[in-house]
Amino acid sequence: MKLKLISAAVAAMIAAAPAMAELTFTALSYRTGPYAANGIPFADGYQDYFTLLNERDGGIGGERVNLVECETGYNTEKGVECYESTKGTGALVYQPLSTGITYQLIPKATADGIPVHSMGYGRTSAKNGEVFRNIFNYPANYWDGASVAIKHLLDVNGGALDGKKIALVYHNSAYGKEPIRTLEELAKKHGFELMLLPVDHPGQEQKSQWLQIRRERPDHVLMWGWGVMNQVAIQEAVNIRYPMENFIGIWWSGSENDVLPAGDGANGYKALTFHNTGSNFPLFEDIQKYVVGAGKAAGAGDQIGTALYNRGLYAAMLAAEAAKTAQGIHNTGPLTPAQMRDGMENLEITEEKMAALGLPGFGPSFKVSCQNHGGDGLTAVVQWDAGAKQWNKITDFIAPDADVLNPLVEADAAAYAAESGITPGCN
Amino acid sequence: MPDQLIFAMEVTLNGLMAGVLYALVALGFVLIYKASGIFNYAQGVMALFAALTLVGIMEGQVPFSHLINAIFGTDLHHFNWSVPALGAILLTMAVMVFLAWAVNKIIFRHLVNQEPIILFMATIGLAYFMEGFGDMMWGSDIKKLDVGLPQGLNSMIDETTYGLLGYGFFIDNLDLVATVIAILLVSVLVMFSQYTKQGRAMRAVADDHQAALSVGVSLNFIWVMVWSLAGFVALVAGIMWGTKSGVQFSLSLIALKALPVLMLGGFTSIPGAIVGGLIIGVGEKLFEFLMGPIVGGATENWFAYVLALIFLVFRPQGLFGEKIIERV
């Protein structure tokens, strides 16, 4: 009898309790291993933003956020294991934070109906939403980065690159090779000579490449590097007295970690970015109040405002905005991955929305559609001030050369569609 | 003189310098292998751990601060002091000696007379433990290491070669310092092993553990001493590589650069590590210079191993390694 009473009481409590639905987001992070120094600030920013939403707003649209973190160590196999072990948690979207993991997840997540957001990495042609229906890479991809770098060089060279020599120092991997095709097309269009200098993983020894740069004296050097390769390249550039203002890195070669070891020598080094840096935005006051002040920060609080922390925060913000869009479309609080995909495909980021979020001027305005999963590719250039130890944004967000990029995206997406048996379309 | 020849000379000089840096890492492997027959997989991580400890001490960082803060809710990060480079190096050396003692006390003392593969597996475990332990102790952010070593273009060499050849050679001051340190280090190590009581005991242990024990040589003492020496070499390598790239966890991967050097120079010869390093350094740089543009570049990693394999075909024990003949 007593047992029956207890059972009835428990059942009544369960029935009376409000629905405890949560929006589950996953963080495939890497806080350990050789790339932990970069993985930690990104993961902290990602986590802190969702903590802020939970603490300040009670979640997203009344639903609390459940963040499931899985450690990949920046290892593709571990990343896939993370995906397999967490997809059953109701994960709404995956941000793999690795080009290698992204390539592995493209067919898996597509089959499982879970969207993937590879922000500033992964397969560039995933921009074509008619082929890559579950994959998104807004607001910018590597080809956008390559094009904007050349546009910036056009600006600083009076609009002409004829006869100039531009070197690309790149990580000798699928990631590092991504911009080559675009740069080759742009070299044809603008008449500059492209010099390719691969660096083998991990990139601790680059003397040969920088001796070649010293001999051949390219007018500008672009870099697609990662991890220790970045710090060594910047130090070698300092050693050979290469003018740092002529040296531009992709956004993964543009964190404080990359420039600080070279000290004052790194002053003037430039990098591309699709979001702003620093903590001089109203949202960061809320981060201090509701997250750091409440003792709920993901890390020690010393990474706030750094390039990679802000990138993690921006990634979380875009996921949250897509979730809000999905809730609006489907008129519901709890979401399924399919509904989240709809939210991502209809995401629109405007400056008004960014200002309302407390992030005015933080990132570019863009609109996602079925045809365009990559946004407009708007990218800015930042420059390192070694004295103040900070990045300064020196350009507006610049649009890439769509005339060159769109045919490349179409061709690569069409090839993927053919080899995967996909019929492109929006329905 | 043709430009290509001048450039090749510059590449060769830089290859020699790079080879010295590889040899600095290889030396640690040789010391331990020579004395105990253990291929120490953890040597790269020891270089990382030593460099992390050095920066931590110099900057007055509170060890395990993340852990302490998480448990006790404190906000500790740094003591209010910094330690001069020389003092920090001595303190780091003391930590490495303690580590050598602990490694032998906790791990290798219990593995005497075990198969070499067991000892090798133990060092793999040690490497992963130390990587995590170093992370927990000092954090995983990238740290700038500045012990006052000069870095960058050597102007004197640049101007002299420009006057002679019409093209100024690039030689990094840090590489020059590394060369001087490597010469000193090898000289001291060779003299130590040849002319001191402890050095002779070390060689006796290397030849035969049981025989050395039977004549009163303390195996424990010798192993702690050798691991301490390897720790010192790791510290030197950590300082050189850490100054180049900042102290970060990728530093442990420098061990990859030492393997072809060991294959070529032999696992048991201190001079072999230096000569092997020089051959690998020059070989890979010249191959990249001559063949890189033809085959698309990035040849250095694999060519170093090809070069080592070619030498192995003709001298399986390496250039200076001991030829082991085991009779049944």
B95-140 pLDDT per residue, tens: 999 999 999 999 988 887 788 899 999 999 999 999 999 999 999 8
A174 inside 8 A of chain B by CB: no
Structural domain count, chain B: 1
Q: Is residue B17 part of a domain?
A: no
> Which pLDDT score is estimated for A7?
55
Could you tell me the two tokens for B75? 């906000």
User: A92 and A173 share a domain?
Assistant: no
Mean pLDDT, all residues of chain B? 91
**For testing contact with chain A, the best of B12, B71, B142, B294 (most A CBs within 10 A):** B142
User: A226 and A136 share a domain?
Assistant: no
Q: Is residue A419 part of a domain?
A: no
Q: What sections of chain B are H helices per DSSP?
A: 3-36, 43-59, 65-72, 85-106, 116-138, 155-165, 173-195, 197-207, 209-214, 219-245, 255-265, 270-295, 300-314
Q: Which residues contact B292 (CB under 8 A, 6 or more apart)?
A: A208, B298, B299
User: A236 and A352 share a domain?
Assistant: no
Asked if B257's CB is within 8 angstroms of A34's CB, the reply is: no
Q: Bigger pLDDT: B210 or B201?
A: B201
Closest-approach residue (CA) in chain B for A172? B298
Across chain B, which distance is largest between two alpha carbons, in Å? Answer: 69
Mean pLDDT, all residues of chain A? 93
On chain B, the residues whose CB falls within 8 A of the CB of A75 are none
Q: For A146-155, A240-249, B155-164, B309-318, which range has the lowest pLDDT when averaged over its residues?
A: B309-318
Could you tell me the two tokens for B302? 């694999």
Q: What sections of A69-179 are H helices per DSSP?
A: 76-86, 99-112, 142-156, 174-177
User: A150 and A128 share a domain?
Assistant: no
State the smallest CA–CA distance between residue B320 and chain A in angstroms: 26
B39 inside 8 A of chain A by CB: no
How far apart, in Å, do the first and last CA atoms of chain A sit?
Answer: 58
User: A165 and A269 share a domain?
Assistant: yes
Confidence of residue A13 (pLDDT cuts 50, 70, 90): very low
Q: Is residue B284 part of a domain?
A: no
Q: Is residue B180 part of a domain?
A: yes
Confidence of residue A6 (pLDDT cuts 50, 70, 90): low
Q: Give A181: exposed, middle or buried? Use CB within 10 Å, 0-12, 13-18, 19+.
A: middle
Q: Is residue B238 part of a domain?
A: yes
Asked if B7's CB is within 8 angstroms of A37's CB, the reply is: no
CB–CB of A117/A93 below 8 Å?
yes
Measure the CA–CA gap between A93 and A103, rounded to whole angstroms. 15
Measure the CA–CA gap between A408 and A128, rounded to whole angstroms. 11
Measure the CA–CA gap between B145 and B234, rounded to whole angstroms. 15
A170 pLDDT above the threshold of 70? yes
Percent of chain A with pLDDT over 90: 90
> Which pLDDT score is estimated for B327?
61
Q: Is residue B44 part of a domain?
A: yes
State the smallest CA–CA distance between residue B121 and chain A in angstroms: 20
Confidence of residue A403 (pLDDT cuts 50, 70, 90): very high
A20 pLDDT above the threshold of 70? no
State the smallest CA–CA distance between residue B196 and chain A in angstroms: 37
User: A153 and A267 share a domain?
Assistant: yes
Q: For A282-291, A397-406, B134-143, B152-161, which range has the lowest pLDDT when averaged over its residues?
A: B134-143
Confidence of residue B301 (pLDDT cuts 50, 70, 90): confident
* Chain-centroid distance, C-alpha A30: 14
> Which pLDDT score is estimated for B328?
58
User: A175 and A160 share a domain?
Assistant: yes
Whole-number CA gyration radius for chain A: 22
A44 pLDDT above the threshold of 90? yes
Q: Is residue A6 part of a domain?
A: no
> Which pLDDT score is estimated for B326?
58
B194 inside 8 A of chain A by CB: no
CB-based contacts of B157-165 (< 8 A; 24+ apart in sequence): B161/B10, B165/B1, B165/B6
Q: What is the pLDDT of residues A201-250, one digit of tens each?
A: 889 889 999 999 999 999 999 999 999 999 999 999 999 999 999 999 99
Q: Bigger pLDDT: B183 or A3?
A: B183
A8 pLDDT above the threshold of 60? no
User: A71 and A109 share a domain?
Assistant: yes
Mean pLDDT of the region A396-404: 96
Measure the CA–CA gap between B73 and A393, rounded to whole angstroms. 37
Give residue for tokens 């390694």: B321
Confidence of residue A16 (pLDDT cuts 50, 70, 90): very low
- Helix (H) / strand (E) element for A116: namely strand A116-117
Q: Which domain holds residue B96?
A: 28-257
Asked if A31's CB is within 8 angstroms of B140's CB, the reply is: yes
User: A131 and A164 share a domain?
Assistant: no
Confidence of residue A119 (pLDDT cuts 50, 70, 90): very high
CB–CB of A270/A243 below 8 Å?
no
Q: Is residue A413 part of a domain?
A: no
- For the entire predicted model, the pTM comes to 0.91
A15 pLDDT above the threshold of 60? no
Give A64's strand partners: A22
Measure the CA–CA gap between A166 and A55, rounded to whole angstroms. 49
Structural domain count, chain A: 2
State the smallest CA–CA distance between residue B325 and chain A in angstroms: 38
Confidence of residue A427 (pLDDT cuts 50, 70, 90): low
Q: Is residue B101 part of a domain?
A: yes
Q: Is residue A388 part of a domain?
A: yes
> Which pLDDT score is estimated for A19?
41
A196 inside 8 A of chain B by CB: yes
User: A265 and A331 share a domain?
Assistant: no
Measure the CA–CA gap between A354 and A275, rounded to whole angstroms. 11
Q: Is residue A12 part of a domain?
A: no
Q: Is residue A192 part of a domain?
A: yes
Could you tell me the two tokens for B276? 């092997």
- Helix (H) / strand (E) element for A392: namely strand A390-393
> Which pLDDT score is estimated for B80?
87
> Which pLDDT score is estimated for A18?
40
Among B132, B144, B151, beta carbon nearest to A239:
B151
Q: Is residue B313 part of a domain?
A: no
Among A336, A332, A275, A399, residue whose Cα is nearest residue A134: A336
User: A184 and A117 share a domain?
Assistant: no
Among A274, A256, A276, residue whose Cα is nearest residue A266: A256
B301 inside 8 A of chain A by CB: yes
Residue type, A267: N
How far apart, in Å, do the first and last CA atoms of chain B sit?
Answer: 60
Among A58, A56, A42, A49, residue whose Cα is nearest residue A25: A49
User: A229 and A260 share a domain?
Assistant: yes
Mean pLDDT of the region A107-135: 96
Asked if A205's CB is within 8 angstroms of B248's CB, the reply is: no
CB–CB of A241/A217 below 8 Å?
no
On chain B, the residues whose CB falls within 8 A of the CB of A202 are 250, 253
Count Cα atoms within 13 angstroms, Cβ side, for A63.
20
Give residue for tokens 């649209």: A61
Q: Is residue A1 part of a domain?
A: no
Count Cα atoms within 13 angstroms, Cβ side, for B121.
6
> Which pLDDT score is estimated for A4?
54
> CATH number for the domain including A320?
3.40.50.2300
Q: What is the pLDDT of residues A283-327, one digit of tens each?
A: 999 999 999 999 899 987 889 999 999 999 999 999 999 999 999
A34 inside 8 A of chain B by CB: yes
Could you tell me the two tokens for A371? 């045809």
Among B245, B285, B292, beta carbon nearest to A232:
B245
On chain B, the residues whose CB falls within 8 A of the CB of A204 are 241, 244-245, 250-251, 253-254, 257
Q: For A7-11, A81-85, A86-90, which range has the lowest pLDDT when averaged over its residues?
A: A7-11
Residues 75-94 of B with CB under 8 A from A: 77
Q: Bigger pLDDT: B70 or B125?
A: B125
> Which pLDDT score is estimated for B321?
73
Measure the CA–CA gap between B265 and B275, rounded to whole angstroms. 6
Asked if A261's CB is within 8 angstroms of B246's CB, the reply is: yes
Among B141, B153, B241, beta carbon nearest to A204:
B241
Mean pLDDT of the region B3-9: 94
B219 pLDDT above the threshold of 60? yes
Q: Which domain holds residue A178?
A: 142-273+381-406
Q: Is residue A269 part of a domain?
A: yes
Among A32, A34, A239, beta carbon nearest to B172:
A239
Q: What is the pLDDT of residues A250-285, one digit of tens each?
A: 999 999 999 999 999 999 999 999 999 999 999 999
